[in-house]
Amino acid sequence: MTETSDRPARAAEPTASAPVLEVRNLSIYFQTMRGEVQAVRESSFTIEAGEAVGMVGESGSGKSVTGLSILRLLPERNSRIEGEVLLNGRDVTKLPEKEMVGVRGREVSMIFQEPMTALDPVFTVGQQISATLRAHHPEIGRKQAKAAAIDLLEDVGIPEPAQRYREYPHRLSGGMRQRAMIAMALICEPQLLVADEPSTALDVTIQAQILELILELSRDRGTAVMLITHDLGVVAETCERVLTMYAGEVVEQCSVDAALLSPRHPYTSGLLRAIPRAEDRHSELYAIPGRVPLLHEMPDGCRFRPRCEYAVDGCEGRQDLVEIGLDRSVRCWRYDQLDLPGAVSAEATAESE
Ligand SMILES: Nc1ncnc2c1ncn2[C@@H]1O[C@H](COP(=O)(O)OP(=O)(O)OP(=O)(O)O)[C@@H](O)[C@H]1O
Ligand SMILES: [Mg+2]
């Protein structure tokens, strides 16, 4: 496959070893006032060591709850899950909470859109980072942990890291807080980092810097990244693989290059068409008609059907995620009949070769 962007190549090469994350038939349910609803239905995907995978989809498609389920951070009170979430081969859905504490931070960590979700306002930034390190590595002394935290604060681009180490989170700007949270997530060098819309709350210039920082640091450390975003443009610039989620289901899974060149699901194609492009600045931006269905009014069969311009009689039934090539799968009845518009035309790719 031709490289269609200037994304830097990552150190990770596909390995024969087990993937860092293997999600098998994951379903997530919530108890609500209207009874039990299903937010994610039979989702399956894998993330290999060191790779960056984007998870995209509109609001409500089940991206965050999927991310939270990997760290087992869904509210116990009103949720339940079915299926398996294998982290380094171990099913975290079955681990006792005591063991989960050892997994979070060390095998997998998560960064959120809002850093105060992860940072505690009553401890200094430095205390929190070094405490995280020492919780997983009691053999590391206080001084050593502090030095490691200050080094990492510097790596995440915080000026005067030794002074910032002593600050409380509210004293830092939004961008600096985000950097501190990244440091906290990476201090124990997890194999997988789940980054849930890590930059959308920030202004545009800082957004790009934060994303670049996450990708660069994880590349240096060989950390796999699951980047959750509603913006397929961001995934195209930063990830190798993409998982498209729609209404709680993975509808397409392939390399970013394949998605850009020849999406096989109408929803992926719609998301691509909705990315603003400089050359189209005088024409109206495409938007997928309609909206994501609410959980208690999911259509039977293909969930995208009511919004799909390619739907025909025969699309009513429920389609499985079908493997259609090496590391490529799609959930659409018509995947082999449609020639869907992508972001990059075949001619453009041929010219760039
Ligand atoms: N604790 C909860 N109780 C009940 N329903 C929930 C809960 N958390 C999430 N949901 C529902 O699950 C569905 C998926 O939510 P999720 O937050 O994963 O969406 P998302 O794809 O991350 O959207 P966004 O882009 O807005 O962040 C939504 O319909 C949401 O309302
Ligand atoms: Mg979300």
The residue whose CA has the least distance to atom 7 of ligand 1 is 30
Question: Are both 91 and 28 inside the same structural domain?
Answer: yes
Question: Are both 139 and 264 inside the same structural domain?
Answer: no
Question: Are both 242 and 102 inside the same structural domain?
Answer: yes
pLDDT beyond 60 at 349: no
Q: What is the mean pLDDT of the chain?
A: 89
- pLDDT confidence of residue 344: 63
How far, in Å, CA of 304 to CA of 215, rounded? 32
Strand partners, 131: none
Paired sense of beta strands 21-32 and 79-87, if any: antiparallel
Question: Are both 123 and 93 inside the same structural domain?
Answer: no
- The structural domain count of the chain equals 2
Q: Is residue 15 part of a domain?
A: no
Query: Among residues 173, 328, 255, which one has the least CA distance to residue 1?
Result: 255
Burial 250-259 (b: 16+ CB within 10 A, else e): bbbbbbbbbb
Retrieve residue 164's tokens: 């910032």
Q: Is residue 28 part of a domain?
A: yes
Question: Are both 202 and 334 inside the same structural domain?
Answer: yes
Q: Tens of pLDDT along 93-107?
A: 999 999 999 999 999
Q: What's the average model confidence in pLDDT over 9-29?
A: 76
The residue whose CA has the least distance to atom 16 of ligand 1 is 62
Domain encompassing residue 3: 1-10+21-107+194-206+223-353
What is the CA(144)–ligand 1 centre distance, in A?
40
CATH number of the domain where residue 277 is located = 3.40.50.300
- pLDDT confidence of residue 312: 94
Question: Are both 86 and 143 inside the same structural domain?
Answer: no
Q: Tens of pLDDT along 181-228?
A: 999 999 999 999 999 998 887 788 888 888 999 999 999 999 999 999
Question: Are both 243 and 101 inside the same structural domain?
Answer: yes
Question: Are both 183 and 200 inside the same structural domain?
Answer: no
pLDDT beyond 60 at 7: no
- pLDDT confidence of residue 17: 66
Question: Are both 64 and 198 inside the same structural domain?
Answer: yes
Identify which of 32, 56, 61 to mutate to test ligand 1's pocket (most ligand atoms within 8 A of the CB): 61
Question: Are both 252 and 333 inside the same structural domain?
Answer: yes
What is the CA(242)–ligand 1 centre distance, in A?
20
Atom of ligand 1 nearest to the CA of 61: 21
Question: Are both 89 and 234 inside the same structural domain?
Answer: yes
Identify which of 27, 64, 81 to mutate to test ligand 1's pocket (most ligand atoms within 8 A of the CB): 64
What is the CA(295)–ligand 1 centre distance, in A?
9
What is the CA(39)–ligand 1 centre distance, in A?
7
Q: Is residue 298 part of a domain?
A: yes
Q: Tens of pLDDT along 289-314?
A: 999 999 988 988 899 999 999 999 98
